[in-house]
């Protein structure tokens, strides 16, 4: 099943993959070689830690390669701008009760970073917003109770 991903998200994964394959692999291999020189491998904590690190790194490499293979990279810049909320747009919401403004970019699951204002397309807020347009009111179920927002702006950034 294709995994939606922004151009930036795919590029970030490619960069991480490149770093893990070229830099981290060599560092870990070097650490294993140095730990081997210390003698008995059964009681060699450095050796076991380096091997564990190697296993984690190789697992993450496989995970990234799988995600990139299944990725459906969506370039929002190539989609005609409109007022409808779709994957990849940056949407500004106004809380109907508090009049507080919030801005989110709707991204793939691996790209989500709430502190950076990026929410997963699978999040309750994004699912409630997809398909709606500027001016629409949207009710979102949150852990703190239902919230109502009005879509104030949609940007194709």
Model confidence at 44, pLDDT cuts 50, 70, 90, reads: confident
Q: At what angle do helices 45-70 and 25-36 cross, to 10 degrees?
A: 160
Strand partners, 80: none
Q: How far is CA 153 from CA 13, 84, 85, 89, 109, in A?
A: 29, 9, 9, 10, 23
Rounded (5°) CA angle 5-124-14 = 20
Average pLDDT over residues 47-65: 95
Is pLDDT above 80 for 41?
A: no
Of the CATH numbers 3.40.50.1400, 1.10.287.180, 1.10.645.10, 3.90.1170.30, which one belongs to the domain with range 3-74? 1.10.287.180
- Residue whose pair of structure tokens reads 């830099």 in the numeric block: 23
Measured between alpha carbons, how far is 138 from 38 in angstroms, rounded to an integer?
Answer: 63
Provide the mean pLDDT of the chain: 92
The answer, as to whether pTM is greater than 0.95, is: no
Identify the DSSP state of 80: P
**What residue has token string 């106004």?**
94
Sequence spans of domains, the chain: 3-74, 76-155
For residue 71, what are the β-bridge partners? 3
- Using an 8 Å Cβ cutoff, are 148 and 96 in contact? yes
Q: What is the CATH number of domain 76-155?
A: 3.10.50.30
Q: How confident is the model at residue 45 (pLDDT cuts 50, 70, 90)?
A: confident
Q: Of 109, 143, 144, which is closest to residue 126 (Cα–Cα)?
A: 109
pLDDT confidence of residue 155: 93
Q: What is the pLDDT of residue 37?
A: 84
């Amino acid at each position: 099943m294709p995994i939606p991903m922004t151009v930036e998200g795919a590029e970030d994964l490619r960069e991480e993959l490149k770093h893990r394959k070229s830099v981290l692999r060599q560092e870990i291999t070097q650490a294993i070689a140095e730990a081997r020189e210390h003698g008995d491998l059964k009681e060699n904590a450095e050796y076991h830690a380096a091997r564990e690190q190697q296993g984690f790194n190789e697992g993450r490499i496989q995970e990234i390669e799988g995600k990139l293979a299944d990725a459906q990279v969506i370039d929002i810049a190539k989609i005609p701008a409109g007022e409808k909320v779709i994957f990849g747009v940056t949407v500004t919401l106004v809380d109907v009760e508090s009049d507080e403004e919030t801005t989110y970019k709707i991204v793939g699951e691996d790209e989500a970073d709430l502190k950076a204002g990026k929410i997963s397309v699978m999040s309750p807020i994004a699912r409630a917003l997809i398909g709606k347009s500027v001016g629409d009111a949207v009710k979102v179920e949150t852990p703190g109770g239902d919230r109502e927002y009005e879509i104030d702006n949609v940007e194709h950034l």
